[in-house]
Amino acid sequence: MLVEIDVAIIGAGVIGLATAREIAQEKKGVFVFEKNRTFGLETSSRNSEVIHAGIYYPEDSLKTRFCVEGKSLLYELCDRHDIAYRKLGKIIVAANEDETAQLEKLYEQGRRNGVEDLMPLSRTELKKIEPNVEARAGLLSPSSGILDFYTLLKFLYSQAREKGAKFVFGTEVIGIERMGAKYRVEIRDREGISAFISRVVINAAGLNSDRIAQLAGIDVAKAGYKLHYCKGEYFSLSSKYRNVVNRLIYPTPEQAGHGIHVTVGLDGRVRLGPNARYVEEVDYRVDETQKKAFYNSVQRFLPHIELEDLDPEFAGIRPKLQGPGEAFRDFVIAREEKASLPSLINLIGIESPGLTASPAIARYVGRMVDELFA
Ligand SMILES: Cc1cc2nc3c(=O)[nH]c(=O)nc-3n(C[C@H](O)[C@H](O)[C@H](O)COP(=O)(O)OP(=O)(O)OC[C@H]3O[C@@H](n4cnc5c(N)ncnc54)[C@H](O)[C@@H]3O)c2cc1C
């Protein structure tokens, strides 16, 4: 007889942790399986730590909906539970006429998305609040901020455990097979291979989420679930630039990312990045030959920086549904009824703004789980 549980969550990144916190209750057997030795060692700890406002994406997308909702929930959570953050604001800057036109479009998009506090800035207004930034115009988003991802992840982990979720680290899910209304889930840990039965399976496996869907029998290519890895590297600026800017400074966005931006850590340290390069494998090394490209990109709006003041820092990988040159793709958050897997919930392509959106995504998945247990 195999052990039977109620919910198996695959992955202990921010999405798996927030979901576990949302759905865990004493009566429900919620287990989180994580292949690494602890939570949050992949994309959730390799990002810009920015609480996004929700400006960039189409108004009817899940990215916008959950980013706008998640931002409020996240600030509330940080306030209530002493999670370090700063709502320092962000400015998207334009260097020329074309980019200024792009700012106008972003302003309109942001308003359509329900981001009511955006403020266009002239060059003079920008200079007054960011004297070291050089640009033709700017768009201020006062509600953007930064947070300490580790405190957030630790808080979600602790609360999920307090509410009864069990975490199984060092355990990789290697098979999912439908058995009537339930699933047989195969796992591999240090002891070998074993299996259990779960009523509901939630796939929050980040960079592996397309493979998990495939394991469950979904034709990933046909479903449009194939992930493309898009690497984002960061360089730090030497400590002499501490507080060189007062806010997050972003260029106008690129096709695959938000553009190499300048973030200020909670300690005032300044970081540049990420770039956006499609890659074949998960490899977190920073390619130092990218340094000049970073410098050229940021020097356009922060002209005083010197090339030798940049140091390679870290990299993250975006789990993108959108391949190179392809059009916008939204998050996939789906109960797989069409694939005859009604109690498999897939979360695929949870790239930026996934950190911001995490509490809202968790709520949404929580409602799906409630329906399944109703
Ligand atoms: C460069 C970069 C910058 C970003 N900046 C921001 C930002 O500023 N603001 C923002 O809101 N968002 C940002 N994001 C997006 C955000 O980081 C992600 O959306 C979010 O962290 C995704 O969390 P996750 O839990 O889905 O994935 P992950 O954190 O990758 O977690 C998935 C987990 O699943 C585990 N797993 C995988 N396969 C298996 C298996 N078979 N069995 C068991 N466990 C498994 C993995 O080990 C991993 O721990 C950024 C992303 C990148 C890459």
Q: How many CB atoms lie within 10 A of CB 363?
A: 17
**What's the predicted TM-score (pTM) here?**
0.97
Q: Are residues 262 and 300 in contact, defined by beta-carbon separation less than 8 angstroms?
A: no
State the distance from the centre of ligand 1 to the C-alpha of 338, rounded, in angstroms: 26
Residues 302-344: tens digit of each pLDDT: 999 999 999 999 999 999 999 999 999 999 999 999 889 999 9
| pLDDT value, residue 69 | 98
Residues with CB under 6 A from ligand 1: 10-16, 33-36, 41-44, 46-50, 52, 172-173, 204-208, 212, 232, 274, 316-318, 350-356
Query: Does an H or E element contain 32, and which?
Result: strand 30-33
Query: Does an H or E element contain 338, and which?
Result: none
Q: Whose CA is nearest to atom 19 of ligand 1?
A: 354
Ligand 1 atom with the smallest distance to the CA of 171 is 43
Q: Are residues 350 and 15 in contact, defined by beta-carbon separation less than 8 angstroms?
A: yes
Residues 80-129: tens digit of each pLDDT: 999 999 999 999 999 999 999 999 999 999 999 999 999 999 999 999 99
Q: Which two tokens stand for residue 14?
A: 């921010």
Q: Whose CA is nearest to atom 21 of ligand 1?
A: 44
Q: Which two tokens stand for residue 240?
A: 């002499």
Q: Whose CA is nearest to atom 31 of ligand 1?
A: 13
177 pLDDT above the threshold of 90: yes
